[in-house]
Structure 1
Amino acid sequence: MTYKLIALDMDGTLLNPNKEISEQNRLWIARAIESGVRVTLATGRPISDASAFAQDLQLDTPLVINNGSEVWSLPDKLLARHILDSHLVSRILTEVLPAYADQVNFWSHTVEGRVNKTNLPEDVHSLRWLQLGLSSKNIGLLQEIRSELETWNAFEISNSAVTNIELNAPGINKASGLREVCGILGIQMSEVIAVGDSLNDVPMIREAGLGVAMGNAQESVKAIADVVALTNAEDGVARIIEAHI
């Protein structure tokens, strides 16, 4: 198979445990681009975080941001945006979280910026919510909350670590974002290599022509991947590009 696009998750995938791009990953990404293969980031981070890494790598392919809630072309062109229903956000903040007192924290990415307990406005509906996250060290408690939210049938539910839950609009995930990118580039998902480590990477790993789980990935991610790479501490991205590009 000739692959035309590589989609890389950031944390736990492209970035090493120090949150840096290793020299090997940088080298092989540059070689992929030189050979005519496009490279993009598919991340749960906001554009304000991702753009610096994309510019550092000199990527010119649209980026999948906030787990697919946005697609951006650098430096500052928004190509797609999908917003969470603010009424559902309000229900979580007023009905779900109070039941767990201080055991669960929340964070979010909105069009207006990052929001958490310290800067939550009185009018929740004044914000355009891109992604809502709930975090706790109590994994069992998170599973209980996830099970409840699943009954709402109102969210795309994933995580970027076992200690959180991430919520996006229904049907919005990294795969939907990548489909939008593929449409822009005029290629098929079968021509994509998708690499990630967490549940928010599962949709794109399933749909890509080659789905890759990092060696440090959650076990459920490894189980559905076509290939398991080395870890993010062992230049796993570089080795995948070397082997398949």
Structure 2
Amino acid sequence: MGDYKLVALDMDGTLLNEQSEISKENAEWIQRALDAGITVSFSTGRGFRSALPFAEQLKLETPMITVNGSEVWSRPHVLHKRTLLGPDYVRRLHELAMKHTGTWFWAYTTDEIYNLEKWIEPGTAIEDHHWLKFGYYTEDAPVRQRIYDEVAEWGALEITNSSPWNWEMNAQGITKASAIRELCTVMGIDMSQVVAVGDSLNDIAAIREAGLGVAMGNAQDAVKEAADVVTLTNNEHGIAEVLKRYVL
């Protein structure tokens, strides 16, 4: 067992079960970790407003990583660092989405989520908004591959996913791992003192760099391969098991 100071938890498919709830067991062991002086932080692809109610449920006053690392919060409502996605790339990503009819897409700004059904107001420009992330969802595997290939050719964005059917694009160099490194600097600790837990490709960089990288039992295969250990699934209170077995 390492001398772990920070536990960075993905939310969907990790901390949250299939009903998007935090189980009683997970909540109990998170509280035990907090009582023991461990910092427990969300490290999520969600935006701040979507993650906040769960932080409030757990009474967390700890740092938060949102939008795959584009935002790092010192604690809820206190922004430490934000990295934007350039509007030129958002324009190209949107054009690519429109080219593949039937592909759902969404994009986070600092104050709004836009998507296929609700894009920016006519008369406003992409440059008028502060963008954080762009995502695509399609169950059509060849289309999903074509989208990946085209964006990867640009060599200018981070491409990950939060499910096997989507892609998520952030500014180059921005990952959950880069955000955790930022938190380590602020906290005066080393990445070797971090436990990172997740289930999707947007968790891999953090899982590889952390002192202990943990994949959920329900994680994508590539995540399990990158991890040091595999825990129980998100429906089996996998986070409680990680805290019990490796942290406390």
TM range (shorter): over 0.9
TM-score normalised to structure 1 length = 0.96
The answer to whether the 8 Å contact 1:139/1:162 transfers is no
Task: State percent identity of aligned pairs.
Answer: 47
Query: What is residue 111 of structure 1 aligned with on the other side?
Result: 110
How far 1:242 sits from its partner (Å)? Answer: 0.3
- Tell me the amino acid that sits aligned with residue 99 of structure 1: K
- C-alpha RMSD of the superposition: 1.0
Query: What is residue 212 of structure 1 aligned with on the other side?
Result: 214
The answer to whether the 8 Å contact 2:93/2:134 transfers is no
The answer to whether the 8 Å contact 1:42/1:67 transfers is yes
Q: Which runs of 5+ in 2 are unaligned?
A: none
Superimposed CA distance per residue, residues 55-108 of structure 1 (whole angstroms, 9 cap, x where no aligned partner) = 2112222101100000113331111000001011101222x2232122x11101
How far 1:112 sits from its partner (Å)? Answer: 2.5
Residues of 2 paired with 1:61 and 1:45: CA distance?
17
Query: What is residue 225 of structure 1 aligned with on the other side?
Result: 227
- Tell me the amino acid that sits aligned with residue 112 of structure 1: D
Q: Partner of 1:125: helix, strand, or coil?
A: helix
Q: Partner of 1:39: helix, strand, or coil?
A: strand
The answer to whether the 8 Å contact 1:51/1:74 transfers is no
TM-score normalised to structure 2 length = 0.95
Query: What is residue 98 of structure 1 aligned with on the other side?
Result: 98
- Tell me the amino acid that sits aligned with residue 147 of structure 1: D
Q: Which runs of 4+ in 1 moved over 4 A?
A: none
The answer to whether the 8 Å contact 2:61/2:76 transfers is no
Residues of 1 paired with 2:196 and 2:68: CA distance?
13
* Matching of residues 8-23 of structure 1 within 5 Å: 8-23=9-24
Residues of 2 paired with 1:185 and 1:59: CA distance?
16
How far 1:5 sits from its partner (Å)? Answer: 0.7
Picking from 237, 240, 245, the partner of 2:239 is 237
Select between 209-218 and 47-56 the one with higher mean Cα deviation.
Answer: 47-56
The alignment covers a number of residue pairs equal to 243
Select between 230-239 and 114-123 the one with higher mean Cα deviation.
Answer: 114-123
